[in-house]
Amino acid sequence: MADTKHYNELGLVNTRDMFRNAMAGGYAIPAYNFNNMEQLQGIMIGCAESKSPVILQVSGSARKYANPTFLPYMAMGAVQMAKAMGADIPVALHLDHGDTFELAKSCIDSGFSSVMLDGSHHPFEENATLTRQVVDYAHEREVTVEGELGVLAGVEDEVSHEVSHYTKPEEVEAFVEQTGVDSLAISIGTSHGAYKFKVKPGEEEPTLRFDILEEIDQSVPGFPIVLHGASAVVPEYIKMINAFGGKMDDAVGIPEEQLRKAAGSAVCKINIDSDGRLAMTAIIRKVFAENPAEFDPRKYLGPAREELIKMVKYKNEHVLGSANRA
């Protein structure tokens, strides 16, 4: 039988107070995805230096990659590293896009402080029933749960949908009441992955459906809302990747000013995955192109980590507004 532990033992917190403070302060909590040590260090150093609360999140496949037993101790080490830097910031460990009760339970039992049950691909009632099952198990252990209504297009790890389906505001209140979730991911025009939107020369960038967000906020006033697929797909990183042998044409993300507007509304958690991947990939490609004989991982992962730190601090300070909120 697998060893079970509570997130308190790892120095983690759930998201309840994070979201309450974010909504009161008009900012959003950054939720950064990671897969390996350098990504985790980059995220934590960036948040520690900008004094921002943070949600560390992994998909089911990222958890498998890092190893389910090893991963919670990575999070514990990250918390202790931040404290050694003099930053006692709130840190949650979150399952991103969990799709079964069994996966959510396994994460909770191993020390996760927050989980998502993404049943958005199911009919409403099936989604609500499955989500409620996870909520009942999680809340007995003071673990917070994120649900989802609406479907985002794009590809990210095991999540793949060709077409977006906007969240229906009229379903939100019933879903929240039936499931007891602590937060809700919605679809208002964001998209997973780096290739979020194809914008031809002369066309305007995509816009988020703030009208839907406002309707949702009116139906469940003060309830924590989450945006997935919210990377900006930083043009500088795309240019660098393409300049050093990559091929990422037509990669367009969510304009940062729209994310900042969302962060000042009912949205209190914004997920960022692709931008972190792009930052590290751009620097690694640059190092290899300029130093083709290099084979010491520290010489390319180190600079990549530094770029991620810089990106995280920028996001916290200028996009999410979470800097100096810990």
**3-class secondary structure, 155:** strand
Q: Give 56's DSSP letter.
A: E
- The rounded Cα 20 to chain-centroid distance in angstroms is 18
* Cβ(59)–Cβ(85) below 8 Å: no
**Phi/psi class of residue 125: alpha, beta or left (left: φ > 0; alpha: ψ in -120 to 50)?**
alpha
Strand (E) or helix (H) holding 30 = strand 29-33
96 is catalytic: yes
Measured distance CA(240)–CA(244) in Å, rounded: 6
* Cβ(264)–Cβ(308) below 8 Å: no
Joined together, the tokens standing for residue 301 give: 């992962």
Question: What does the angle CA 222 – CA 224 – CA 227 come to, to the nearest 5 degrees?
Answer: 135
Which member of 17, 88, 96, 109 is catalytic? 96
Query: Backbone phi, then psi, for 265, in 5-degree steps?
Result: -110, -140
Measured distance CA(268)–CA(254) in Å, rounded: 17
**Phi/psi class of residue 177: alpha, beta or left (left: φ > 0; alpha: ψ in -120 to 50)?**
alpha
* Cβ(253)–Cβ(206) below 8 Å: no
Nearest alpha carbon to residue 187 among 142, 152, 135: 152
Q: Among the residues of 191-263, which ranges form H helices?
A: 210-219, 235-243, 256-263
Start-to-end Cα distance in the chain: 37
Nearest alpha carbon to residue 40 among 254, 238, 319, 304: 304
**Residues assigned a catalytic role:** 96
